[in-house]
Amino acid sequence: MTELLAPAGDLEKLKIAILYGADAVFIGGQEFSLRARASNFTLADIKEGADFAHQFGKKLYVTTNIIPHNENMGELIEYLKGLESAGVDAIIAASPYIVKTALDHTSIPVHISTQQSVVNSSAVKFWKDMGAERVVLGRELDIDEISEITSKSEVEIEVFIHGGMCASYSGRCTLSNNMTDRDANRGGCAHSCRWNYDLYSDDEKISDDSMPFSMSSKDLQTLRFIPKLMDANVASLKIEGRMKSIHYIATVVRTYRLLIDEYTQTGTVKDMNYYEEEIRKAENRLTSYGFLAGMPKAEQQLYNLRSEEPTKEFLGIVIDYDAITGYATIEQRNHFKPGEEVELVGPKYQRKTVVENIYDEQMNLLDAARHPKQILKIKVPFEVHAFDMLRKVL
């Protein structure tokens, strides 16, 4: 069974990921984790997250994937034992020292991070012999190379399928260190590759002021490669984005869940366009399939293109539903008004309706939903559930 692995930056996102179909979730603790600006979990949060995941028969992994300096090594054993007590199902590590310490002092399974740039079968065997149960491959492999590695591997293989891509080899970047004194390999990446630059050749500026140069790659989106990755016996398909919104997590996880289930049950995918349209509702940057079809071409890079556009499809999240009155309680996220067609989306359904009237918590009639995070009530002619999404129909 192929695992769908989702990111979470806080407990709410963790619960959303599980409810919308993730088989496992990876999070970062407050120590030894990349993504320092994410809403990292305390040990108490990690235990609560593990308990929630296990209620649904799902798993929780914790990243301990920094490249540590001496100053980062204090209290490592104590922290790993804390993760073990919290009930996490594995850690994701890049440093051989962290890997060995976890194997020597705890019973927590170890997954090898993509930061180790594992791109061949010999490296997979090295980590297997060291005691790792899973290896996350580097993102610089095509589908044939991945298939060859999985056919020779005696441990589980994990592959990234969606999210941000690093312009540097498997994330080993020093641009951020040099430009901002923020160490990308210890959780401080400033995304310097996405900045705008003036480009010079022999002291002559060759970039256009109206279109400055940048060097970022497009985000990863691999929907059309999922059947091939499943056929290649990839154990885990990983979505990136611990700093993304609940709408992003819910939409992306749900889309890949439905695709994986359809292919598992039927051996085919009837309408790939549907899945691509669903994914676009969560994306705000241009996407590509990375290295999966071979060496990326120029059209898979952003260079002088910047595509960030906030999506406004996400109108709100359901808090509660009264089956007697038919009113759903909604926490609002974007502007909408009476008369608009909207859709309610849950893990297993997607239905449209028209907003009749909008009320506040005291049932005062409103002419529009104007204030983010305001609690509203709208009538919905079918049953909805907490954590279902209200989306605009475009």
pLDDT single digits (tens) 334-382: 999 999 999 999 999 999 999 999 999 999 999 999 998 999 999 999 9
Report residue 92 as tokens.
């994701």
pLDDT per residue over 233-270, tens digit each? 999 999 998 878 899 999 999 999 999 999 999 999 99
The set of residues, in sequence order, having a beta carbon less than 8 Å from that of 227 and lying 6+ positions away, is: 263, 269
> Which residue in the block uniquely carries the two structure tokens 């556009």?
309
* Domains parsed from the chain with CATH numbers: 3-196+213-300 (3.20.20.70), 314-392 (2.40.30.10)
pLDDT per residue over 95-109, tens digit each? 999 999 999 999 999
Beta bridge partners of 62: 27, 91
Burial of 269 (0-12, 13-18, 19+ CB in 10 A): middle
So what's the pLDDT on residue 300?
66
Is the pLDDT assigned to residue 309 strictly greater than 60?
A: no
Q: What's the whole-number mean pLDDT along residues 173-185?
A: 72
Q: What's the whole-number mean pLDDT along residues 141-159?
A: 97
pLDDT per residue over 21-37, tens digit each? 999 999 988 777 655 55
Question: Comparing 4 with 309, which gets the higher pLDDT?
Answer: 4
Report residue 331 as tokens.
């926490």
Q: What's the whole-number mean pLDDT along residues 49-66?
A: 95
The set of residues, in sequence order, having a beta carbon less than 8 Å from that of 162 and lying 6+ positions away, is: 219, 220, 221, 222, 239, 240, 241, 252, 256, 279
- 306 pLDDT band (50/70/90 cuts)? low
So what's the pLDDT on residue 308?
53
CB atoms within 10 A of CB 143: 20
Residues found in the chain: 394
How many angstroms separate the CA atoms of 29 and 330, rounded?
31
Is the pLDDT assigned to residue 181 strictly greater than 90?
A: no
Q: How many CA atoms lie within 13 A of 373 on its CB side?
A: 0
Q: What percent of the chain has a predicted confidence (pLDDT) above 90?
A: 67
Burial of 181 (0-12, 13-18, 19+ CB in 10 A): exposed
Beta bridge partners of 110: 91
So what's the pLDDT on residue 226?
98
For 119-126, the CB contacts below 8 A with 24+ separation are: 119/145, 120/149, 121/148, 121/149, 121/152, 121/153, 124/149, 124/152, 124/153, 124/155, 124/157, 125/153, 125/154
So what's the pLDDT on residue 304?
56
Of 67, 72, 7, 15, the closest CA to residue 40 belongs to 7
- Helices 11-19 and 246-266 cross at an angle (nearest 10°) of 20
- Cα–Cα–Cα angle for 128, 129, 132, rounded to 5 degrees: 40
So what's the pLDDT on residue 303?
59
Mean per-residue pLDDT over the chain, rounded: 90
Is the pLDDT assigned to residue 297 strictly greater than 90?
A: no
Burial of 271 (0-12, 13-18, 19+ CB in 10 A): exposed
The answer to whether residues 307 and 286 touch, using CB atoms and an 8 Å cutoff, is: yes
So what's the pLDDT on residue 65?
82
